[in-house]
């Protein structure tokens, strides 16, 4: 069994073929680790096993190359902590290439490609050890699958505006997300079946399983909600899935919320769908529900039903349908309506009045809050190119929830400077971390997740001290692990 993140043979092979990626190279200031000046050597301990397809001459299930679940958990931790926010680190000289002119991994896409590739191999290693499908069940596998699912959802949300991403990677990402969620659900049902509940007994409460066996994950309702939200357009799949859910799980508020969104979508109740989208405190559910196809579908039904009205104030519609700005919305609306070949929407393109609250909404169920344009824009710390497009956004209404403001977070964090000194220190930490003793660096995590390690079984005592600094203390369900963990300031649920 391979106890490193990447088997030594593969490191050697890739080094020979010059396939070491930028994330796996040593830092510029770290002379002790670099063996030559060109930096094409891998930093020891940094490479992660790359995704390969099994070929006739290259069998993937050789025991010396397959990583056991503990190592896979460690790999996922590493990916989330040290790779995912790399695009926010300026001055990371590993990416300095005179030709291209980059000085840091300032493109989210680089991070995404690396993370996606390595995460796929992590999941494939689980598959090779029979952890998915109807096979073995493990809390480590559950944990890793959950986090992978969350990261995939967030990536799709963040990169959705990028035309390249949409063209090349969107379907693959969705496919992988589908597989991850399915595997996760299979793990949950496997855990139930394996521990005395039986498949036919749907009245078992998942808390009981949690208490007795330690094999259940506290995020089960959250992930079930994501599964429902992912397949929300597919009535048959979700109906059958709901039939097989245990009642305790189905009554959980997270799952009930996803169920409400599901019924809203299929009974053409667009107002309810958008209300859930606006007011759910679960950020990842928001990301899921605002995937392009689902959002477009609900918007179409909304526009169809709004067509029956005489005058539709565009500001109100922009707010209801959660468009970011009105001009684009106007274009899309006219374009969309022309496609639908119905009587055109007579859109009133007046400026929003101050007393716009009195405007009559068409669905009586839509609560009219005062439309304030400032709240329509997403509050993020990222540069606007990520979110300037239409259609891939969600408004934060109510209390201003900042989904990810890493700059603010960084400024308020404890040790907080972007000097290269820290980069070197971090390299040392990394090397320590990847030693067999699994030492945890004493320096608090700068970027992102402190809550990465969930200890649900005694195997993971090593990581117990990790789950401290930016940990979620109260609400397990709504913490988004991985990317923006330490951020969350909620409105009330």
The binding site for other proteins (CB under 8 A) comprises 134, 193, 198-200, 235-236, 239-240, 242-244, 247, 250, 263, 266-267, 269, 360-361, 364-365
Between 236 and 414, CB nearer to other proteins: 236
Asked if 80 and 439 count as a contact pair (C-beta separation under 8 A), the reply is no
Q: How far apart are CA 203 and CA 370, in angstroms?
A: 45
Minimum distance from residue 476 beta carbon to other proteins (Å): 25
Nearer to other proteins, 96 or 362 (CB): 362
Let me know the angle formed at the C-alpha of 448 by 94 and 25, rounded to the nearest 5 degrees.
20
Whole-number minimum distance, CB 386 to other proteins, in Å? 36
The distance of closest approach from Cβ of residue 416 to other proteins in the complex, given in angstroms and rounded to an integer, is 47
Which are the contacts of 445, defined by CB distance < 8 A and separation ≥ 6?
A: 81, 469, 470
CB-wise, 362 or 467, nearer to other proteins? 362
Joined tokens for residue 336: 């969309």
CA–CA dist 399, 121 (Å, integer): 40
- Minimum gap (Å) between residue 358 Cβ and other proteins: 10
Q: d(Cα 175, Cα 314) in Å, to the nearest integer? A: 36
Which residue, 42 or 190, is less far from other proteins as judged by CB? 190
CB of 242 to other proteins, least distance (A): 5
Residue 102 β-bridge partners: 97
Nearest to other proteins of 250, 428 (CB atom): 250
**What does each C-alpha distance from 50 to 6, 89, 120, 269, 448 come to in angstroms?**
8, 23, 8, 45, 24
Read off φ and ψ for residue 380, nearest 5 degrees. -135, 165
Using the minimum distance from each CB to other proteins, give the nearer residue, 102 or 260. 260
Q: Closest separation between CB of residue 280 and other proteins, Å?
A: 17
- Cβ–Cβ < 8 Å for 89, 105: yes
Coil vs helix vs strand at 233: coil
Q: Output the smallest distance, CB 196 to other proteins, in A.
A: 12
- What would the two tokens of residue 52 be? 């390969």
Rounded least distance, CB 236 to other proteins, Å: 6
**Is the Cβ of residue 28 or residue 294 nearer to other proteins in the bound state?**
294
Q: What share of the chain is helix, strand, coil (3-state, %, to 5)?
A: 50, 0, 45
Query: Which of residues 124 and 275 has its CB atom nearest to other proteins in the complex?
Result: 275
In degrees rounded to 5, what are phi and psi of residue 472? -75, 130
Give least dist CB 201 to other proteins, A: 9
Q: In angstroms, what is the minimal distance from the CB of 239 to other proteins? A: 6
DSSP string, 331-366: HHHHHHHHHHTSSPP-EE-PPPPTTGGGSPPSSTTS
Considering beta carbons, is residue 201 or 331 the nearer one to other proteins? 201
Residue 430 burial by Cβ neighbours in a 10 Å radius (0-12, 13-18, 19+): buried
By beta-carbon proximity to other proteins, the closer residue of 283 and 302 is 302
Helix, strand or coil, per DSSP, at residue 257 = helix
């Amino acid at each position: 069994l391979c106890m490193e993140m990447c088997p030594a043979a593969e490191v050697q092979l890739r080094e020979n073929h010059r396939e070491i990626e930028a994330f796996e190279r040593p830092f510029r200031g770290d002379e002790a680790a670099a063996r030559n000046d060109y930096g094409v050597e891998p930093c020891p301990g940094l490479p992660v096993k790359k995704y390969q397809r099994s070929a006739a001459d290259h069998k993937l299930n050789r025991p010396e190359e397959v990583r056991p679940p503990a190592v896979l958990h460690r790999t996922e931790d590493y990916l989330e902590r040290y790779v995912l926010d790399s695009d926010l680190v300026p001055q990371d000289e590993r990416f300095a290439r005179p030709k291209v002119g980059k000085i840091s991994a300032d493109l989210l896409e680089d991070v995404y490609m690396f993370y996606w590739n390595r995460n796929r191999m992590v999941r494939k290693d689980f598959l090779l050890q029979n952890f998915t499908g109807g096979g073995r069940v493990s809390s480590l596998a559950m944990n890793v699958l959950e986090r992978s699912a969350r990261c995939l959802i967030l990536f799709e949300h963040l990169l959705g505006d990028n035309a390249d991403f949409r063209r090349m990677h969107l379907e693959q990402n969705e496919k992988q997300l589908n597989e991850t969620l399915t595997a996760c659900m299979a793990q949950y049902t496997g855990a139930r079946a394996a521990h005395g509940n039986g498949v036919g007994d749907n009245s078992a409460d998942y808390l009981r399983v949690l208490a007795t066996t330690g094999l259940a994950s506290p995020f089960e309702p959250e992930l079930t909600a994501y599964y429902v939200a992912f397949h929300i357009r597919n009535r048959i799949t979700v109906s059958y899935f709901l039939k097989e859910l245990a009642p305790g799980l189905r009554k959980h508020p997270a799952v009930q919320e996803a169920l409400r969104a599901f019924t809203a979508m299929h009974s053409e109740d667009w107002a309810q769908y958008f209300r859930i989208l606006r007011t759910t405190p679960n950020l990842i559910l928001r990301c899921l529900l605002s995937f392009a196809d689902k959002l477009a579908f609900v918007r179409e039904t909304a526009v169809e039903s709004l067509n029956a009205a005489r005058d539709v104030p565009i500001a109100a519609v922009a707010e209801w349908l959660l468009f970011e700005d009105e001009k684009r919305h106007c274009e899309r609306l006219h374009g969309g309506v022309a496609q639908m070949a119905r009587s055109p929407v007579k859109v009133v393109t007046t400026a929003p009045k101050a007393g716009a609250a009195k405007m009559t909404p068409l669905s009586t169920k839509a609560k009219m809050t005062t439309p304030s344009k400032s709240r329509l824009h997403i509050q993020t710390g990222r540069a606007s190119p990520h979110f300037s497009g239409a259609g891939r956004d969600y408004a934060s209404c109510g209390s201003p929830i900042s989904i990810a403001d890493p700059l603010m977070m960084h400024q308020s964090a404890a040790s907080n400077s972007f000097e290269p000194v820290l980069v070197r220190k971090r390299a040392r930490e990394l090397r320590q971390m990847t030693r067999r003793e699994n030492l945890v660096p004493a320096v608090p995590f700068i970027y992102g997740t402190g809550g990465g390690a969930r200890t649900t079984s005694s195997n993971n005592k090593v990581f117990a001290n990790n789950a401290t600094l930016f940990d979620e203390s109260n609400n397990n369900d709504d913490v988004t692990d991985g990317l923006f963990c330490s951020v969350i300031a909620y409105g009330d649920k």
